[in-house]
Amino acid sequence: GAGVSQSPSNKVTEKGKDVELRCDPISGHTALYWYRQSLGQGLEFLIYFQGNSAPDKSGLPSDRFSAERTGGSVSTLTIQRTQQEDSAVYLCASSKILGSSGSPDTQYFGPGTRLTVL
């Protein structure tokens, strides 16, 4: 079956420009996550969507970052006025939720979008 897809796979932009990154989760997965992966830094949580609940934005590094999820499916991460320190691989993951616990089951990751800010 189809996995998590992300587009574009690579994005090169100039400092100060806005970028939009797209994530298509696995159908039926109510939870969706955005992470940022920098070399040697592991995964940095950015934002979490679960069903119709308000998103958890606690990981967004600044107000230049925002994300939305339309119809409980596709999500877009927007970075405004990009800076060189925004260069990283942006990963999206989706999952089901374990019973009534609220905790996620296995996360399925997309291939990522490599963002380079010149």
Binding residues for other proteins (CB under 8 A): 33, 35, 40-43, 45, 48, 50, 56, 59, 91, 93, 98, 101-107, 109-112
Distance linking the first and last C-alpha atoms of the chain: 37
CB 103 → other proteins: shortest distance, Å?
5
d(CA 23, CA 33): 10
The nearer residue to other proteins, 93 or 115, going by C-beta atoms, is 93
d(CA 32, CA 30): 7
CB 26 → other proteins: shortest distance, Å?
13
